[in-house]
Amino acid sequence: MRFFTGIVLAALFAPSLLRADEARDKLIVETVLKLESFNYQSSSEKVKGAIGRYLTKNRGSEEYYELIERFRVESEVASLAKLASEKEVNPRAAALLVAIGGEVAIKAALGDSGSSRASFLMSLGTVNDPVAVEILSGFLKGKDKVAARDSANALAGSPAGQLCLLEFAESGALADELKNGVALALSASVDPAIRSRVSKALPLPSSLGGELLPPVAQLAQMRGDANKGKLIYMRACFTCHKVGEKGIDFGPALTEIGDKLAREALYTAIIDPNEAISFGYEGFSIETGQGRKLIGYLASEGDQEIGIKVPGGALITVQTSEIKVKDPLSVSLMPASLVATMSRDDLVNLVEYLTTLKK
Ligand code: HEC
């Protein structure tokens, strides 16, 4: 008996036979794709098996999506959710997931802790579908600030999502910390009606004296005076950033920021610091048993003690045994209100100065 099983297994796994199996599956798939009236749901287990194996083998390929789309292969919904959660935004996988699995599948994917929520939300944001928009907008009001921000970013990715953000803004329901980001995203919408409505509901953050700032793309066209900009830097930025040997070492050094960030990105970094937080500078709020409260980022983290860098540049060491609360901040340690302390010209001059900071 053993002997026979062995022979059968060996035969099954012989490379030539495997290839033959694959070739047969491929033939079946190519044939059914050509048949106009093929009905997947009522097809034989053998055909379904061949299609299933082919899908597993070609996950994420064009044929993969085509097969699922044509035959509405419900058993692939979990795989689609995974594809939509992997590193990059995947509009194709998300659209099929919503079309075939609907609300149930979206909720299941969100509940799956193994998947990357941020990528999944971004993928979902590209699906211009009321169910997807409804679920994303649910996060906007939620307690989870990171999810709220990810959802706002995702919603800005489709026309239906943009309308939803606009309605939140117009009804006053948009959380304060999301306003600058949403204003920036919607003021860059390709739809002039959205741009016009957002300019009323959610003016871009105003600079000193209540002057409204034009959209970032327009700011990036302007040129300023770098010497004047340096003075603004000394006033507003020096307390947290070094340029060369000068300044306080808290945020990342700006010595070569002109090489790293283009004009648009420099404007965004100042107007909406929460948009992208530099790696390693994520803020934490820490409370010790002695009632001491510290806000800063983790400069070192060991078993016995952690080092927290606080505004002003001091490095404070806390014994891990003393830590009572250690919560990540949902916002950047760089304040979003700095633009309100300068005029539009100050801002343009400041960015001009930053572009000169190069190797
Ligand atoms: C209270 C401290 C603080 C002040 C004041 C401050 N920043 Fe920052 N800044 C930070 C921190 C912390 C980060 C890193 C976290 C982040 O990326 O949001 C940062 C990040 C940045 C970045 C992104 C750097 C990179 O390498 O990507 C730029 C650009 C920047 N700041 C410019 C400025 C400018 C210009 C000013 C003055 C108008 C300023 N900052 C004022 C704390 C500050």
Q: How many CB atoms lie within 10 A of CB 48?
A: 16
Could you tell me the CA-to-CA distances from 179 to 62, 118, 241, 291 in Å, in that order?
38, 19, 25, 33
| Site to substitute for ligand 1 among 213, 219, 234, 240, most atoms within 8 A of C-beta | 240
The string of pLDDT tens digits covering residues 309-359 is 887 788 888 999 999 999 888 888 888 778 877 889 999 999 999 999 999
| Site to substitute for ligand 1 among 243, 277, 334, 343, most atoms within 8 A of C-beta | 334
Atom number in ligand 1 closest to CA 265? 29
Place of tokens 């304060």: 176
In whole angstroms, give the CA distance from residue 158 to residue 164.
10
Predicted local distance difference test score (pLDDT) of residue 8: 45
Q: Residue 174 CA to chain centroid, in angstroms?
A: 19
Average pLDDT score, the chain? 86
Contact 250 CB / ligand 1 (< 6 Å)? yes
Predicted local distance difference test score (pLDDT) of residue 218: 93
Contact 252 CB / ligand 1 (< 6 Å)? yes
Mean pLDDT of 299-306: 92
Confidence of residue 117 (pLDDT cuts 50, 70, 90): confident
Query: Which residue, among 351, 293, 281, has the nearest Cα to 322 in the 3D structure?
Result: 293
- The answer to whether the CB of 209 falls within 8 A of the CB of 183 is no
Which residue owns the Cα nearest ligand 1 atom 16?
277
Long-range contacts formed by 139-148: CB under 8 A, 24+ apart: 140/168, 140/173, 140/174, 140/175, 140/178, 141/173, 141/175, 145/175, 145/177, 145/330, 145/331, 146/330, 147/117, 147/121, 148/175, 148/178
The string of pLDDT tens digits covering residues 128-147 is 888 999 999 999 988 888 88
Residue 176 has pLDDT above 90, yes or no: no
Of the given ranges (15-19, 283-287, 289-293), which has the lowest mean pLDDT?
15-19
In whole angstroms, give the CA distance from residue 122 to residue 341.
33
Contact 281 CB / ligand 1 (< 6 Å)? yes
Residue 4 has pLDDT above 50, yes or no: no
The alpha carbon of 278 and the centre of ligand 1 are apart by a number of angstroms equal to 9
Contact 156 CB / ligand 1 (< 6 Å)? no
Predicted local distance difference test score (pLDDT) of residue 136: 93
Could you tell me the CA-to-CA distances from 44 to 29, 38, 313 in Å, in that order?
13, 11, 69
10, with CB counted inside 10 A (0-12, 13-18, 19+), is exposed
Contact 277 CB / ligand 1 (< 6 Å)? yes
The string of pLDDT tens digits covering residues 183-236 is 877 877 777 788 788 888 887 777 776 777 888 999 999 999 999 999 999 888
CA atoms within 13 A on the CB side of 328: 8
In whole angstroms, give the CA distance from residue 301 to residue 282.
13
Contact 237 CB / ligand 1 (< 6 Å)? yes
Residue 274 has pLDDT above 90, yes or no: no
Query: Which residue, among 220, 216, 190, has the nearest Cα to 204 in the 3D structure?
Result: 216
Mean pLDDT of 263-290: 90
